[in-house]
Amino acid sequence: MRVHLVDGTYELFRQHFGTASRHRDSHPHAAAAGVVASTLALIEDGATHVGVASDHVIESFRNALYPGYKTGEDMDPDIKEQIPVMERALAAAGFTVWPMIEFEADDALGAAARIAGSDQRVEQVLIVTADKDLGQCVEGDRIVQFDRRNRLVIDEAGVTEKFGVGPASIPDYLGLVGDSADGFPGLPGWGAKSSSAVLARYEHLENIPAAPGQWDVPGLRGAAKLAATLQAQFDDALLFRQIATLDYDVEVGSVDDWQWGGPTADFATICGELDNPELLAYAERLAR
């Protein structure tokens, strides 16, 4: 079997700025309905075991670690309002849903990927998102990311090609370059090229020599300045890495819990609220 783990928050944004935004007369919850439809499409393509993680609230334990971390204040209210609608609709459609409050959707996806990856019955785990944070979960071609928009499977070689470092170094990489989407800046002067070049050689922050003269990174420019910044702000780099590192201590159940068994009796009511009878017919056809 193959296990599909869907980033529901990412999918909601994708739907909101995609199909839903192109139709001005669309239902107020069209993006939520779009997520359900796209998740059912995975079933039509052959998926059997599916879990969907969402950020039920945008804040998490990471906000206590760093005051500048992302909050829901700047989130489009049309998207924010649809998060619980999406969660309820997906559950009624028969999918396993993990609404995150203390943790984030990425943490749940990482935890589920580990569980599925350790199950010998599972041939492949597909984390359905292009979010760079999830690159740290990728293992060979067994645990991969699936970018549905570009129909692209990103395996371990793909992560290395994209970022210049392997999955194990992704948190370190983000600790240096930062992540504007998540609200932490990284270190001044440490860009994508310099970060990948240094981490490709040393893998983790602790392994980088303090003195630039000890660096074995051919072709790197500005090593002295980079080294000085790293030493002066090393604690910040460690903090940002901690923020970027997934927490796998999330209860997500087992692979057997994620098998899709068709829509529940409540799904007809949900589809009525969404003014989308086609969605009900679609789910019922797939269940048959």
Distance CA 268, CA 280 (A): 6
Give the closest residue to 284 by CA, choosing from 114, 28, 94: 94
DSSP character for 144? E
> Which DSSP string do the residues of 77-115 spell out, in sequence order?
HHHHHHHHHHHHHHHHTT-EEEEESSS-HHHHHHHHHHH
Query: For position 238, what pLDDT does the model report?
Result: 98
Query: For position 75, what pLDDT does the model report?
Result: 87
Give pTM, 2 decimals.
0.95
Q: Give one word for 69, left, alpha or beta, with left for phi > 0 and alpha for psi -120 to 50.
A: beta
Cβ atoms < 10 Å from Cβ of 113: 27
Tell me whether residue 180 is exposed, middle or buried, using C-beta atoms within 10 angstroms of its C-beta: 0 to 12, 13 to 18, 19 or more: exposed
Locate 258 and state its tokens: 């994620």
Distance CA 150, CA 118 (A): 28
pLDDT digits (tens, 9 = 90+) for 198-252: 999 999 999 999 999 999 999 999 999 999 999 999 999 999 999 999 999 999 9
Which domains, from first to last, does the chain contain? 2-163+247-280 (3.40.50.1010), 167-244 (1.10.150.20)
Mean pLDDT by 10 residues, the chain (288 residues): 97 87 73 97 98 95 95 89 97 98 98 98 97 97 95 97 98 97 96 98 98 94 97 98 98 98 97 96 97
